[in-house]
Amino acid sequence: MTSHAQDRFSEFYAKWLNQYEANLKELLSVSRDPSHGHLHQALISKVMTHYKEYYTVKWATAKDDVLGFFCPTWFTPLENAYHWMTGWKPSMVFRLIASLHKSQDPVSKIEELRFRIRIEEDRVDREMERQQVSIADKPMVDLSRLATQVKNGEVVGELEKYVDMALSSLLVGLEQVMKMADCVRLKALKGVVEILNPLQSVDFMAAIAMLQIQLRKAGKRADHGKIIKHQKG
């Protein structure tokens, strides 16, 4: 059963995704003439604003239900399988750049950015590990001990109070990890478009959108296939 926050974000995401697909069409159809850099730049700004809207709403919703973003119902299982800390992995963008642009001009700057992003990803991984290990910290151990104190079938002590306190701390930590990861994603996008020229940035943004949309479509086909197989079985 989904929470109200999850339902609310799922509705937002459906609308956001429709605009995302519309943005992709614009990216693919915009003039390829390098002299139209002002058009390319305006389109990139529009796409970046759309990305930022997603994270703004995501962070606001996470205050009510952060766990929903670690097991999102608005993504297919295939999308979730490829996700990292509630979204796409930032280092993915550098593989796309390598396949799109053979020019050597921006390579050194791209490599510097890739190195910085990798360091940021490692920081997020370490923080997530710290949050996972914290489950065995003293407050949680005390909670486990308290839960074993049963008298006449009833738990002795204010168990619910301790549960709420321990859970609250864990949720705050998970929200921090999610935001850290999202910030790295935005840094990767912003960093790349600042290095590439406007037309290259258009190709880059189109490639990311195409990848995410095609992954989603593949996930839906896989889900549909499972349903049909189950019905036949």
Name the token pair of 29. Answer: 């159809």
pLDDT for position 105: 59
Query: Looking at the predicted structure, is the pLDDT value of residue 176 above 60?
Result: yes
Other beta carbons within 10 angstroms of residue 108's beta carbon come to 10
**Residues 6+ positions from 196 with CB-CB distance below 8 Å:** 97, 101, 106, 204
Residue 161 scores a pLDDT above 80: no
Global pTM? 0.87
pLDDT, one tens digit per residue, over 76-128 is: 999 999 999 999 999 999 999 988 865 555 678 999 999 999 999 999 999 99
Q: What is the pLDDT of residue 170?
A: 86
Give Cα separations from 70 to 58, 67, 178, 190 (angstroms): 12, 5, 9, 24
Cα separation of 103 and 81, whole Å? 33
- Confirm if 24 and 210 have CB atoms less than 8 A apart: yes
pLDDT one-digit tens code per residue, 121-150: 999 999 999 988 876 665 666 666 655 555
Answer whether residue 233 shows pLDDT above 60: no
